[in-house]
A and B are shown apart, each in its own frame.
Chain A
Amino acid sequence: MKILIAEDEPQLSKVLVAAMTHVNYDVDAVYNGKEAVELAGKNSYDIIILDIMMPVMDGITALKKIRASGDKTYILMLTAKAEVDDRVTGLDSGADDYLTKPFSLKELLARLRSKERREDDFTPTELEFGDLSLNTEEQELISHNSIRLNNKETQLMNYLMLNKDKSLSTEDIFNHVWKNEDNVNSDIVWIYISYLRSKLESIQSKVQIIGEKGGSFTIIDR
């Protein structure tokens, strides 16, 4: 899993990053809310961890900005024990869970594992982008016309649409859509990108997937 953590206390940040990296998570660390919003806009994460009390931009503001951009990534807030209102505000502003400080490393890692197990259940069934909508339940892609997608095409489209305007590497895409699968390699990504491009064209959508074979891909609205 790819994780973004925004925590301003350098010592705590260092410990958390070390622990998460140790269990093979891919971690980006930033030290205020503003940097978190910037990175969340650029990269695709499975989990974003935001401390509430941070300089430059606090965690609640960062959370609101990330949600306002349409980002549906799972977000975990770190709150101080006394701040009940912060926890309520955080959850009401779109956070998925919180941990009160001080928390044990064991508990944080258990939360991350729990999230990882049910990752697949978190995606919404209706996604919209530009003139395009994707119904993941029906595996239907709709614009001027409609067309059906197969399972992998749906997952790939879903991943691209949840990360609109972000650059996703062939590696990212492969690890996400074809994780835990044998007998395939990342060449499959290009084939499925090609399918989706043809299908977008056939339903005359203005949405495009840009990028070249083996490189990074971004879904954009022309």
Chain B
Amino acid sequence: MDIYGGYRPTLENILDQVLNRFKEVNQLYQDQTGDRLYEHLIGRVKTEDSMTEKCQRKNLPLSPYSALKKNRDSIGIRVVCNFIDDIYTWIDLIDSWTSTKIITKKDYITNAKPNGYRSYHLILEETFPYQDIEGNNPGKYYIEVQLRTIAMDTWASLEHEMKYKHQIKNPEMMGNELKRVADELASCDVSMQTIRKLIREED
């Protein structure tokens, strides 16, 4: 079956447009300031399997409505930045886009999850010239944006690997070690941010 009910090509199309916008904004910022606002950028339309799994986990009927409206991460992009401040610059920029509405903001940077996870999550709502699942045309679509530093990204992929790919002997000890490393990486992020600020203040 197709959990997206034929909407997948539309989602792919919207993903491309959103990614292009982030690339353009980054290019413009780079032209103006000489700094890149992200180190890399990735995006995906959630796979059939993981969307199905998520609906089941949340006890939602396996329908396009669940996939597109009840879940708001069918389209997801991840912006990986060099510095913590760049993340907040992005949020201010996105906030200023008139066509885009920020529906939720979750700051897991200043409110790190107990396991040490740090990132900033946004859910955006935007109108595109395609029909949506509720019959609106132009239609409304959700996009999940995850913003994090390179250190947070590396950590998250290691944590993901531990959680989903391996059967480890002493999960509690590894969990504690991961938490410690998360705090050490946060320390480096904050120190690099501070050094950049001190260097720039000298000018």
| Chain A residues at the B interface, C-beta cutoff of 8 Å | 140, 144-150, 191, 194-195, 197-199, 202, 204
- Which residues of chain B (162-203) have a CB below 8 Å from chain A? 180, 183-184, 186-187, 190-191, 193-195, 197-198
Where chain A touches its partner, the secondary structure class is mixed
A199 to B190, CA, bound (A): 7
Task: Tell whether, in the assembled complex, residue A198 and residue B183 are in contact, meaning their CB atoms are under 8 Å apart.
Answer: no
A197 to B190, CA, bound (A): 10
User: Can you spell out 26 A-B residue pairs with CB atoms less than 8 angstroms apart?
Assistant: A144-B110, A144-B111, A145-B110, A145-B111, A145-B112, A145-B186, A147-B183, A147-B186, A147-B187, A147-B190, A148-B183, A148-B186, A148-B187, A191-B195, A191-B198, A194-B194, A194-B198, A195-B194, A197-B194, A198-B190, A198-B191, A198-B194, A199-B190, A202-B109, A202-B186, A202-B190
A146-B190 contact given A191-B198, A194-B198, CB 8 Å threshold = no
Contact with A along B101-132 (1 / 0, CB 8 A): 00000000111100000000000000000000
Report B106 CB to chain A, min CB distance, Å.
15
A204-B110 contact given A195-B194, A198-B193, CB 8 Å threshold = yes
Number of interface residues of B (CB under 8 A): 16
Task: Tell whether, in the assembled complex, residue A149 and residue B198 are in contact, meaning their CB atoms are under 8 Å apart.
Answer: no
Interface centre among B112, B183, B195, by most A CB within 10 Å? B183
B-chain residues with CB within 8 Å of residue A147 when the two chains form the complex = 183, 186-187, 190
B-chain residues with CB within 8 Å of residue A204 when the two chains form the complex = 110-111
Task: Tell whether, in the assembled complex, residue B198 and residue A146 are in contact, meaning their CB atoms are under 8 Å apart.
Answer: no
A144 to B183, CA, bound (A): 13
- Which residues of chain B (61-115) have a CB below 8 Å from chain A? 109-112
A-chain residues with CB within 8 Å of residue B194 when the two chains form the complex = 191, 194-195, 197-198
Report A131 CB to chain B, min CB distance, Å.
14
A147-B187, A147-B190 given; 18 more Cβ-contact pairs under 8 Å: A144-B111, A146-B112, A146-B183, A147-B186, A148-B183, A148-B187, A150-B187, A191-B194, A194-B197, A194-B198, A195-B191, A195-B194, A197-B194, A198-B191, A198-B194, A199-B187, A202-B186, A204-B111
